[in-house]
Amino acid sequence: MRWNYKPKPTPEKISTLVESLSISPLIAELLVSRGITTFEDARLFFRPSLTDLHDPYLMKDMDKATARIEKAILSGENIMVFGDYDVDGTTAVSLVASYLKTIYPNVTTYIPDRYAEGYGISFMGIDYADDNEISLIIALDCGIKSVDHVAYAKEKNIDFIICDHHRPGDLIPDAVAVLDPKRVDCDYPYDELCGCGIGFKLIQALGLSRGQSTEDLVKYLDLVATAIAADIVPMTGENRILAKFGLEVINSNPRPGIKALIHQVKKEELTITDVVFIIAPRINAAGRIKHGNYAVQLLSEFDFEQAIEFAREIEMYNSERKELDKQITVEALNQIISNQETDRFSTVVYQEDWHKGVIGIVASRLIEHYYRPTLVFTKSGNKLAASARSVLGFDVYNALEACAEHLEQFGGHMYAAGMTLQEENYEMFKIAFENQVKNTISEEQREPQILIDMELDLAAIDEKMIRILKQFEPFGPENMTPVFVSKSVFDTGYAKPMGGNDEHLKLFLKQNNSEGFAAIGFGLGTKFDLVKNRKPIDIVYSLSENEWNGKTSLQLNLKDLQ
């Protein structure tokens, strides 16, 4: 991996923070590199408050959305809360539906079937609403491109409120209200909310007319924090506030469904990273393997014993998901090799029997082997469906947009997208996508990199520094865990490979006469020879606390060494 250093902030900006906050230059430099340059910036960063959340009515169409919901309640209409089958969608549906049910009984939920209906608003879902005399659909984490679906619903006298965070197309659906901060005509101050975050803004607005403060809605933030973590949105602004308070709910008083998932893995206190790797995959597994309804059922259950049963079932789906993604990854890698496509600029693979629920995970796995924009296709009905994943700095959504003539539909973000196409267009699309990537990707984007905050002497690491760095949490995009480089360190003789295939590396490192630190290098077992016999090495790492047998100790988490 290429080691890249963040640009060093100007001495003036660092000294300004040192003086105004009475902090060390090291901490000041880390803050400035995150865009924190004033005392007020630092207050918002270190002491986020629910009062710092924006007025929900600053979002375009929020007044229309709440007025239409109030009208539905007053008129006794049936309301359907519709959402995508991933973590963001299922948490958003659980959040909005469970809130509405506290004030109104005629509320039902709908998650489309990944296989029969595909992503987003479906005609089947609208027909279901029509058959059940539902006249208002609130769509969450989807809908911003569903122009035809909203028109179809209108013919049946069904209104739509769309709450989405994906990029709009050229046309905005003709819904009663379209809540999406990424609309060019929306002046909402923060446009990086996830779908569940938009759902929270909606219930925040509804709560205002009922005399409810944001504090009254804190109990819903376990869902919002889970969605923020899973959807990998920037950990800045409102996301950081919602994630911080949501994580507190997860660790103190989570809803029974999330409590049951934590009970399954027997984890004491969760970080945002734990939510990403422990909670989110299990919620996702329901929609990947069986149906997203199982996730909504779990997250909406208020009886803990019943939630435990749902969580056990989802645990089985998660185990099946793990087996499937391992198997398909091996098959996809074999396909790349047999087709002699190891040196391409993109990866595009297809097999008709691959499980649609895990192709996004497989795309991420393939990037670990061949670091390039990756699409994994499978058969879906009479069409092909794919999940796309990208590499740092490369916008896969823009690349798909450039190949849109070959696609039936597509949507997503810079780093993750989904699409469908007719089978006869697959080969033409594959060629077009490869050419588009080849012509637009930079050399730097073609190799993985580690972004380093600064060089650090091991002697500078102490308990005070760790205490302050813990206050940088929760970590996520645009507020990643600080990464340091230390040079000419050496192992004191304790280095050894570990893990089933010796794939990991355990060391005890010193630098000059510094205190020694335990270090772990996941996936670095092959570099064992570099550290033998006290050979000097340079290391890139983050700092963490390791708990073992009730004791907490500092540990260096190695990302690379040379």
pLDDT(278) > 80:
yes
pLDDT(494) > 90:
no
Q: Return phi, psi of residue 145, to 5°.
A: -110, 10
| C-alpha separations of 83 from 80, 139, 204, 397 in Å | 10, 6, 19, 21
Span 59-70, pLDDT tens digits: 999 999 999 999
- Cα Rg for the chain, rounded, in angstroms? 25
pLDDT(476) > 80:
yes
CB 291 within 8 A of CB 111: yes
Tell me the mean pLDDT in the region 528-551: 86
Q: Given this model, what pLDDT does residue 46 score?
A: 93
pLDDT(451) > 90:
yes
> Which CATH number among 3.90.1640.30, 3.10.129.10, 3.20.20.140, 3.40.50.800 corresponds to the domain 56-313?
3.90.1640.30
CB 472 within 8 A of CB 30: yes
Q: Given this model, what pLDDT does residue 554 score?
A: 87
Q: Given this model, what pLDDT does residue 362 score?
A: 96
CA separation for the pair 43, 311 (Å, rounded): 39
pLDDT(151) > 90:
yes
DSSP string, 57-87: GGSTTHHHHHHHHHHHHHHT-EEEEEE-SSH
> With pLDDT > 70 as the criterion, what percentage of the chain qualifies?
100
SS3 487: strand
pLDDT(157) > 90:
yes
Tell me the mean pLDDT in the region 520-542: 91
pLDDT(552) > 80:
no
Q: Integer distance in angstroms from the first to the last C-alpha of the chain?
A: 10
**Domain ranges in the chain?**
2-47+450-561, 56-313, 339-446
Contacts 24+ apart (CB under 8 A), 329-333: 329/362, 329/365, 329/366, 332/362, 332/366, 332/376, 333/366, 333/369
Q: Given this model, what pLDDT does residue 438 score?
A: 97
Span 183-234, pLDDT tens digits: 999 999 999 999 999 999 999 999 998 999 999 999 999 999 999 999 888 9
Q: Given this model, what pLDDT does residue 533 score?
A: 83
Q: Given this model, what pLDDT does residue 499 score?
A: 85
pLDDT band at residue 109 under the 50/70/90 scheme: very high
The alpha-helical segments, DSSP class H, found in 253-381 are 256-265, 272-274, 280-285, 293-300, 304-338, 359-369
CA 278 to chain centre: 13
CB 178 within 8 A of CB 144: yes
Token output for 306: 């019943």
> Which CATH number among 2.60.40.1840, 3.40.50.300, 3.10.310.30, 3.30.1310.10 corresponds to the domain 339-446?
3.10.310.30
CA separation for the pair 400, 414 (Å, rounded): 10
Q: 468: closest CA among 519, 543, 548?
A: 543
Helices (H) and strands (E) in the chain, counts: 20, 19
pLDDT band at residue 33 under the 50/70/90 scheme: very high
pLDDT(265) > 90:
no
Comparing 560 with 268, the larger pLDDT belongs to 560
Q: Return phi, psi of residue 218, to 5°.
A: -60, -35
CA separation for the pair 541, 275 (Å, rounded): 22
DSSP string, 4-40: EEPPPPPHHHHHHHHHHHT--HHHHHHHHTTT--SHH
Span 44-57, pLDDT tens digits: 999 999 999 999 99
Tell me the mean pLDDT in the region 147-171: 95
Q: Given this model, what pLDDT does residue 118 score?
A: 79
pLDDT band at residue 114 under the 50/70/90 scheme: confident
Find the helix or strand (DSSP H, E) in which 453 lies. Answer: none
Q: What's the mean pLDDT when you consider all of the chain?
A: 93
**What residue type is 475 in one-letter code?**
F
Span 279-306, pLDDT tens digits: 999 998 888 888 889 999 999 999 999 9
CB 405 within 8 A of CB 431: no
Q: Given this model, what pLDDT does residue 414 score?
A: 87
Q: Given this model, what pLDDT does residue 177 score?
A: 98
pTM, two decimals, is: 0.89
Q: Given this model, what pLDDT does residue 224 score?
A: 98
Tell me the mean pLDDT in the region 128-147: 96
Q: Given this model, what pLDDT does residue 541 score?
A: 97
Q: Given this model, what pLDDT does residue 228 score?
A: 96
pLDDT(551) > 80:
no
Tell me the mean pLDDT in the region 321-337: 95
Sequence-distant (6+) residues with CB within 8 A of 535 are 490, 491
pLDDT(402) > 90:
yes
Q: Given this model, what pLDDT does residue 327 score?
A: 96
Q: Given this model, what pLDDT does residue 269 score?
A: 85
**Range with the largest mean pLDDT of 1-5, 403-407, 533-537:** 403-407
Comparing 412 with 519, the larger pLDDT belongs to 519
pLDDT band at residue 126 under the 50/70/90 scheme: very high
Q: What is the dihedral of CA 162, 166, 168, 173, to 10 degrees?
A: -20
Q: Which CATH architecture has domain 2-47+450-561?
A: Beta Barrel (2.40)
pLDDT(119) > 90:
no
CA separation for the pair 316, 223 (Å, rounded): 22
pLDDT band at residue 275 under the 50/70/90 scheme: very high
